[in-house]
Each structure stands twice: as structure tokens, then as C-alpha cells.
């Protein structure tokens, strides 16, 4: 294909491919609107996330990983609501038509889309500074969506996976720390190809009292649950250090690793609360969705977050979360 590919050739070549169809999609790419039909008794769940070059990623990032991540961060929002993904749209501004870049990007994008059996049903394509905006559409039984608002005093607080590795990768990427090849690769996978926790979100329907996905920092995002629910939290300060290899803890020190756990964003893990009596059911949901889940603390009647150290001493949360207009 030539460099002078037009807008419609570009859409046809890279984005309008026969996909394993999702039953909710009645009409996909090519008309003025896509048509979807959620199942009876289901609500539509909708979320958008934008990725801007220089802000969320660098021009040097592997396009396939970027394609994965652009969709993953959106699927993570559906996961946090307990919604089942159906379809997505892609609004794309490109500085130029670079067939190699587009081939890599669409490969990464569709690999993840196929893994979740969802279809690209439309979008918009224009020339401009590199910018990607995906909107995902999902469905959830009416009234069963997980929200930020239902946490109650006494509920346990849980997080999925290993939050902190993505921030560790960022620290290494910025040259503030050095990691050996194996640790760098592990950390970088968390940063560049996060796994959206869709299966866990579905398993938590009717079980979690609140849920959010971690994009801007674990405690900052937990703070949104606390605010919406009108409650506080006690968190075990060292509760997530055990996931890091001892060699890494000796080399970097626990202070940095604690900061990665609690303030690090970009992990796209789920933070959620559930009644203490639901502990066994949460374990079962984790097993059924093949997602590691760990209890990190408890909801309190007060407000704000207190970190409890190994000696039982409580400290007001010292970690600020990421804010695009503050940094």
C-alpha cells in the first residue's frame, strides 16, 4: 500500500476487519451509527479514556503495546463496574499515515479485543497530534453495577494483583533506579500491557459493596470510594511489600516500594470492599476468575485513610495521587 493512503482506505485496511462477532452488535463499522442490542434486563455501561502522546505515552513506545494499553485501560473501567464488555469505538488523531505503526497498533488492539470477544464498531479518524480515545460499551444486570458508593464500616478492603510494579517501571524508565533485566521486564509488562480484570469484576457482582480500578494511585483511588461512601479506612502499610522479591527490597529499600504500592498508578488493578462475612465468597470469586486478590485493610466509620505500620502506629496517608493538572 502506498504512503498516500486516504482516510477511508486506512479505516478499511487497519480497523474494519472481520471479527469474531459479539451477539450484542447488530451493525458495526461503515454506517453513520453502530447499532447494539443489550440483552433484556441489562443496563448499558459506557466509559471513555483518552491517551495523549507525551502525556500518557512516548512516541517511542511499541505500537502493539500501545494498542493493547489503549483498550485495556477502558476495559478496566467496565471491570470496575462489573460490566460485561460488548463493543468499543476508536477516535484517532494521527500526525501522518505510517502503515508499520498502524499495523502494530491494530494488532495489539485486536489481540486484546479478541480475548474479550468484543468488536470495534466505529470511531473517527483525523489528522493531528497523536491522540487515542476509546469508548467501551458494556452491559450489566439492572441495578447490579458496582459503584464507588456502597462501602460500609467493618467491610474488608481488597486489591487484585500486584499493584506497584507499573510505578517501579516508571521509576526505572526515568533513570531514578536501576533494575536487572528480569525485574525490568516484569515491571515493564505491568506498565505497558496491563491485564484488565474483567473476569474478577463479573465475579464480584452482588458481592462487592464498592469497587474502583487503580489508574492514578491505589490510595488516591481508594479515596474516591471513601468519599462517595462517606467512610474512612485503615490500611496495613506493609501489606503489599511481600510481593516484591527480597533482592529488590534489599537493593531499593522498603520506603520506595511502599510508595510504589500506595501511590503508584497505571496498574489497572481493582480495589473493592466486601462485608467481613463475605470473606469466603471473595476467595471463591478470586479463584473462579483466576485473579489473585489480597486483603489490605478495613473500612472505618471515620474519614480519610490511616496507614498502620508494623508496630501498630497509625499515620495519616502521606501519599498524594496523580493529577494531570498538578504535575
**Residue (91 or 228) nearer to ligand ADP, CB:** 91
Residue 7 or 283 having the CB closest to ligand ADP: 7
Identify what 85 binds: Mg ion, ligand ADP, none; CB under 5 to 8 Å per kind: none
- Site size for ligand ADP, by CB under 6 A? 13
Residue closer to ligand ADP by CB (options 96, 290) is 96
- Indicate whether 120 belongs to the interface with ligand ADP (CB under 6 A): yes
In the sheet that holds 131-141, the strands lie side by side as 42-52, 131-141, 84-94, 119-127
Q: Which does 323 bind (CB under 5 to 8 A by kind): Mg ion, ligand ADP, none?
A: none
Q: In angstroms, what is the minimal distance from the CB of 325 to Mg ion? A: 29
Residues 6+ apart with CB under 8 A from 254: 238, 241
Q: Which is nearer to Mg ion, 27 or 111 (CB)?
A: 27
Q: Which does 30 bind (CB under 5 to 8 A by kind): Mg ion, ligand ADP, none?
A: ligand ADP
Interface pick for ligand ADP out of 122, 196, 239, 265 (rule CB under 6 A): 122
Instruction: Using CB under 5 A, list all residues that contact Mg ion.
Output: 124
**Which of Mg ion, ligand ADP, none sits in contact with 92, Cβ below 5 to 8 A by type?**
ligand ADP
CB of 11 or CB of 204, closer to ligand ADP: 11
Nearer to Mg ion, 35 or 314 (CB): 35
Tell the smallest beta-carbon distance from residue 324 to ligand ADP (Å).
24
Residue closer to Mg ion by CB (options 14, 244) is: 14
32 binds, among Mg ion, ligand ADP, none (CB under 5 to 8 A by kind): ligand ADP
15 binds ligand ADP (CB under 6 A): yes
Q: Does 309 contact ligand ADP by CB under 6 A?
A: no
Q: In this structure, what C-alpha cell is assigned to residue 266?
A: 497505571
* Interatomic CA distance for residues 11 and 31, integer angstroms: 13
Q: Which does 36 bind (CB under 5 to 8 A by kind): Mg ion, ligand ADP, none?
A: none
3-class SS string, the chain: CCCCCCHHHHHHHHHCCCCCCCCCEEECECECCCEECCCCCEEEEEEEEEEEECCCECCCCCHHHHHHHHHHHHHHHHHHCCCEEEEEEEEEEECCCCHHHHHHHHHHHHHHHHHCCCEEEEEEEEECCCEEEEEEEEEEECCCCCCCCCCCCCCEEEEECCCCHHHHHHHHHCCCCCCCHHHHHHHHHHHHCCCCCHHHHHHCCCCCCEEEECCCCHHHHHHHHHHHHCCEEEEECCCCHHHCCHHHHHHHCHHHHHHHHHHCCCCCCEEEEECHHHHHHHHHHHHHCCCCEEEEEEEECCCEEEEECCCCCEEECCCCCCCCCCC
Binders of ligand ADP among 82-111, rule CB under 6 A?
90, 92
Contact status: 125 vs ligand ADP (CB under 6 A): yes
255 contacts which partner out of ligand ADP, Mg ion, none, CB within 5 to 8 A by kind?
none
190-215 exposure pattern, b = at least 16 Cβ within 10 A, e = fewer: bbbbbbbbbbbbbbbbebbbbbbbbb
The least CB distance from residue 28 to Mg ion, in Å, is 15
Restricted to residues 26-65, the positions that interact with ligand ADP (CB under 6 A) are 29-32
Query: According to CB under 6 A, which one of 108, 123, 163, 265 is a site residue for ligand ADP?
Result: 123
**What is the contact surface with ligand ADP in residues (CB under 6 A)?**
11, 15, 29-32, 90, 92, 120, 122-125
Amino acid at each position: 500500500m502506498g504512503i498516500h493512503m486516504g482516510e477511508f482506505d486506512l479505516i478499511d485496511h487497519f480497523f474494519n476487519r472481520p471479527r469474531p462477532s459479539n451477539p450484542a452488535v447488530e451493525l458495526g463499522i461503515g454506517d453513520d451509527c453502530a447499532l447494539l442490542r443489550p440483552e433484556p434486563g441489562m443496563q448499558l455501561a459506557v466509559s471513555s479514556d483518552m491517551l495523549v502522546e507525551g502525556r500518557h505515552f512516548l512516541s517511542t513506545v511499541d505500537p502493539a503495546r500501545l494498542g493493547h494499553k489503549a483498550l485495556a485501560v477502558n476495559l478496566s473501567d467496565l471491570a470496575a463496574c462489573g460490566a460485561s464488555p460488548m463493543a468499543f469505538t476508536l477516535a484517532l488523531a494521527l500526525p501522518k499515515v505510517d502503515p508499520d505503526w498502524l499495523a502494530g497498533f491494530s494488532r495489539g488492539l485486536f489481540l486484546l479485543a479478541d480475548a474479550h470477544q468484543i468488536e470495534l464498531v466505529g470511531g473517527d479518524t483525523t489528522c493531528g497530534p497523536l491522540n487515542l480515545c476509546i469508548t467501551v460499551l458494556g452491559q450489566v444486570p439492572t441495578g447490579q453495577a458496582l459503584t464507588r458508593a456502597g462501602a460500609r464500616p467493618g467491610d474488608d478492603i481488597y486489591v487484585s494483583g500486584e499493584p506497584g510494579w507499573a510505578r517501579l517501571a516508571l521509576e526505572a524508565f526515568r533513570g531514578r533506579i536501576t533494575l536487572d533485566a528480569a525485574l525490568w521486564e516484569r515491571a515493564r509488562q505491568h506498565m505497558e500491557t496491563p491485564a484488565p480484570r474483567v473476569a474478577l469484576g463479573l465475579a464480584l457482582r452482588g458481592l462487592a459493596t464498592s469497587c474502583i480500578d487503580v489508574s492514578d494511585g491505589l490510595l488516591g483511588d481508594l479515596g474516591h470510594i471513601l468519599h462517595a461512601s462517606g467512610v474512612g479506612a485503615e490500611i496495613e502499610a506493609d501489606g503489599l511489600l511481600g510481593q516484591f522479591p527480597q533482592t529488590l527490597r534489599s537493593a531499593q529499600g522498603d520506603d520506595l516500594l511502599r510508595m510504589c504500592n500506595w501511590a503508584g498508578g497505571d496498574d489497572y488493578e481493582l480495589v473493592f470492599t466486601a462485608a467481613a462475612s463475605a470473606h469466603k465468597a471473595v476467595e471463591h470469586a478470586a479463584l473462579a476468575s483466576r485473579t489473585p486478590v489480597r486483603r489490605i485493610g478495613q473500612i472505618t466509620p471515620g474519614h480519610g485513610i490511616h496507614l498502620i505500620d508494623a508496630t501498630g502506629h497509625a499515620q495519616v496517608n502521606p501519599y498524594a495521587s496523580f493529577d494531570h493538572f498538578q504535575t
